[in-house]
Structure 1
Amino acid sequence: MSKQVTIKQIAQYAGVSEATVSRVLNQPELVSKQTIQKVKDGMDELQYRPSALAQSMRNHTTKTIGVVISNVLNPFFTTLVRGIEDAATKRGYSVIVCNTDENPDKEQRYINMLVDHQADGIILASTGNHANYHSMVNDMPLVFIDRMPQGKDANLYDTVLVDNEKGSFNAVDALIKQGATRVNAIVSPVATTGTERLNGFRKALTAHDFPIREQDIALDDYLGQHTAELALNLIQTNQCDALFCGNNVILMNVLKVLKEWQIGDMKLAVFDDQPWFDFVQYPIISVDQPAYLIGTKAFITLMDRLANPNRPVTHDIVRTKLVIR
């Protein structure tokens, strides 16, 4: 097998010394083109593959990054990771994807694993439960996506985010302009994201002189496990005629309730956009956040940090787009 081929075997095949093979691998400018070709021919013939570990020790890089997200089944994160992976592949990097399930202990274990395996950097959708990421990663580059880091970490690390508050405001504003008279919300109170989206919801109500009643807001976990019960309660108790869903997982569960109870007259808005929304019987207003672009930008930001460790911290806000159906 190729991994068993040694430099000594290549040297014997090419009729050169082991030192010459080593120079071809590490300092080819010191070797003649004819000798380089002989060595390369030997590598091809013997199917030699350089040791990734040895290369990383020489170059002080593993060409590997970690991506730590909350839920790989969420289409937003699936698309975001694809953006990271496509950008990383072009630069010769491998990606390790870790799924935390919004569990801070799992998040810490994954970060420790990536540090122990000397990943070159981490792209992180934080659970929001750790106050000091620096103590975990030390000097390893870390880029936050989707959620803003808390406390002093906010000034230490690069971020690639969207304007959650403005996006939510626009969605709820559109619901009211379409004739909604009582808008309720179901959101996931995850890290900064849930808070910002709730702020946008409240500001839109205020802008239209709608009362803000806490009973009009329901909080669910990131998997939307209680959405059905919460949505039914809002609809039956509050008699709302519009629902704002904090993410597409919550929306999917709301749609199941509407179908099961045969509720046909309901205006819907959601933070995020998916192609299948076009085929739903309800005209869904959505906040399109460009997940693929966020992933690409996050990787580029990480590479910039690796190349320039001392450059100023950057906070990139990616624009959302309101989609009205």
Structure 2
Amino acid sequence: MPDIKDNVLRTGELGATVAPYVKKSAGDIIRADDWNTAQVLARTDIANHDHTALGRAIPREGIRERAIDGSRIDPEAQIAARSLTLKDSLKIGARDVLADLDRAFAGLEQGKTSLDKARSDLTTSISSLSSQLALIPQQTLSIPALIVNGNTGLGTASPQARLHVEGSIRIKASEQVFCPGRLHIAGDELLYVLNKSGMVIGKEWGGNGKLDVQGELVARGGLTFADGGRQTSAVVIRGGNWDSGGRFEKTIKYFDIGLSGFRNPPTVLVAIGFVDAEKTRNLRLKTWAENISSTGFRIAVQTWDDTVIYGATGTWLAFGS
């Protein structure tokens, strides 16, 4: 009997040593020799199997473990592999897939080369056309009248108004822009006038020469009046009334007044408008402003000696910048 420790069993080694098959029943005792024989038979059967590297069906020497002989693969089988390495070619039926792929990639590369050349030719043509257009002199269109239905665009292919200009409009010095209706100018800078002589709001064409400002008028360079007077800073004027609030004598009453809009302490004038005093006494009453600042001041109303004041009112006026 061959040594059961051998890793490979060769054909013919079992023919002279293995006894014929002996049937055993349940409960029978198996001898050590029968047990050893069973192991040898099992290993021999596995070694002679067509799907292993040890069988006669794969006679090539040195085939690697787990390698697959393509001739033994079922044509209907579905095979999944982590990676596939090819030494020569990959054929499906009669077609060489790798060769087909190489031809396809070569075609793509050739197409890319043609596309790059066409793009280069187009860029050259556009540059040449631009140079030629620059050499064409400006043309003047002279027609009696031009009537266009719908919107007209200059510099834009999608005009949003009857005349839509993308760019600047230059008008000859001797010409005028006439707008019999409302001229509506919209944008971040509503109206920006650059004129050496300034801007005149006249009475031509039925105008009244007036400037109606519905918001705030900002004069950064000052204001010049018809008499030649010039004001370079704004004048802020605030005014109001004061009331003594009832009888008082031999005392001073104070009234705090708040101000807004002044950057500097203004000039304040205080006047008396009405006095109700005891007729049997002399009338003694004066008023003034004190503690003047850009945010407010205090009105003082004073009487003294035996004068009795039953009530007094007046006004105040503050002006400055």
Please report the TM-score for the alignment, with normalisation by the length of structure 2: 0.21
Please report the TM-score for the alignment, with normalisation by the length of structure 1: 0.21
Larger radius of gyration: 2
Please identify which structure carries the higher strand content.
2
Q: Which has the higher contact order (CA 8 A, sep 6+)?
A: 1
